[in-house]
Structure 1
């Protein structure tokens, strides 16, 4: 019988696939990163327990084109500063990806809030524009001009926080206790430039980052970096405490009932 590709793989095939994935070459991305100070109450409101706000209400957007061999990828994230167990890091609210392959792995393994979306990174001389869009709305856009080269930072480590869970089959709660994941990223930068510009947030009922207003831009940069990540389960968390926040992960039609804050506009 001819091989049926949906059939079970042998132990040798599984081991070969695991070995191949562990030998991937360094993958470099070109991206724009913007950090701004926002409203402290708004930042605190989006953090599910046991995450806590840090001493500064920062929001960070990363918009990148990733140089995957034969498989170019647009990837982005919007995250707020958070702390857990004495570890400072970032809690991503949405992570648009341009391909399903990148989306599925991150969601299923780490619990990343990835969604299919559009990612743009453009540079024309000194002029830079980067944006994340879904449902036809560029809900965050960074615009500016390159102001000059910056010193290359030393290799650094960053922690992102994710909640990994599966909604219950009967639609009530979860199938098992959710877990809080610490995803540790080791980053190397080979090019970095400063950008003078601004961050534009647009209203979107599915990606309401406009609720995290730009009070003051801290920095905008454009650069090239490579990242290696690994994760571990930090703790199991209260299902009841997490339930009010799981809409962050999905495009729920009921979100049309969640109007923008009064006075926004």
Structure 2
């Protein structure tokens, strides 16, 4: 019988795929990173428990193009500084990606809040423009000019925090209690430049990062870097406590907050 491609793979094929994934070459990206201080109360308000704010109410916009062979990717994120159990890192609110290959894996494996969107990184001489856009709105735009080189930093470990969950089949809450994921990235930088410019936040009902105003601009950089990442589940979290924040991940909040029909059975974790 001819090979049925939707059929079960053999153990050897599964092992080969796993081994191939473990030998990925360095994948380099070119991107703009803008960091600013916002209002402490606003930053604290977007952090689901058990995440807590850090000493500085920092927000970071990361806007990059990734050199995937034959399949270039635009990738971005807007994140706030956060702390959990003595570990400081970043909690992304939105992560626009330009194609589903990057979106699906990150959401399903790590719980990353990825959405399809438009990502722009442009440089003409010293002039730089980078933007994240969805639904025709460039809700984050970084504009400026390269003002000089910066020392290349040593390789560093950085942590992002994600909440991984499955919406309930009946439309009410979650299928089970969500989990908090620590995603650790090992980052290497081969080029870094200082950018003098500004950050523009535009109103969007779907991606309301304009609620995190730029009070003090800390830095803007343009760099080339590569990272790997490994995640681990650190604890289960309260479904009822997390549920009010899930609109951050969906354009239509009803995808997670709608209740079942009258008389329906609520799934575990469906507290509202």
Q: Which residue of 1 aligns with 2:155?
A: 155
1:201 aligns with 2:188: no
The TM-score, its normalising length taken from structure 1, stands at 0.95
Q: Which residue of 1 aligns with 2:107?
A: 107
CA offset at residue 71 of structure 1? 1.0
Q: Which residue of 1 aligns with 2:126?
A: 126
Structure 2 residue matching 1:103: 3-state secondary structure: helix
Structure 2 residue matching 1:247: 3-state secondary structure: helix
Structure 2 residue matching 1:13: 3-state secondary structure: helix
The TM-score, its normalising length taken from structure 2, stands at 0.92
Structure 1 residue matching 2:198: 3-state secondary structure: strand
1:150-179 per-position Cα deviation (integer Å, ceiling 9, x unaligned): 001010111000000001111112111100
Runs of 5+ unmatched residues, structure 2: 256-272
Structure 2 residue matching 1:6: 3-state secondary structure: coil
Q: Which residue of 1 aligns with 2:223?
A: 223
Q: Which residue of 2 aligns with 1:83?
A: 83
CA offset at residue 254 of structure 1? 6.3
Structure 1 residue matching 2:133: 3-state secondary structure: strand
Runs of 4+ off more than 3 Å: none
| Superposed CA RMSD | 1.0
Structure 1 residue matching 2:68: 3-state secondary structure: coil
* d(CA) in 2 for partners of 1:120, 1:6: 37
Q: Which residue of 2 aligns with 1:238?
A: 238
Runs of 5+ unmatched residues, structure 1: 256-265
Measured at CA, do residues 176 and 254 of structure 1 come closer, stay the same or move farther in structure 2, by a change above 3 Å?
closer
* Paired residues of 2:31 and 2:65 also in contact (CA < 8 A): yes
Q: Which residue of 2 aligns with 1:185?
A: 185
* Paired residues of 2:38 and 2:214 also in contact (CA < 8 A): yes
Structure 2 residue matching 1:229: 3-state secondary structure: strand
Structure 1 residue matching 2:128: 3-state secondary structure: strand
* d(CA) in 2 for partners of 1:69, 1:32: 21
1:97 aligns with 2:97: yes
Matched pairs, number = 255
Q: Which residue of 1 aligns with 2:258?
A: none
* Paired residues of 2:246 and 2:253 also in contact (CA < 8 A): no
1:140 aligns with 2:140: yes
1:13 aligns with 2:13: yes
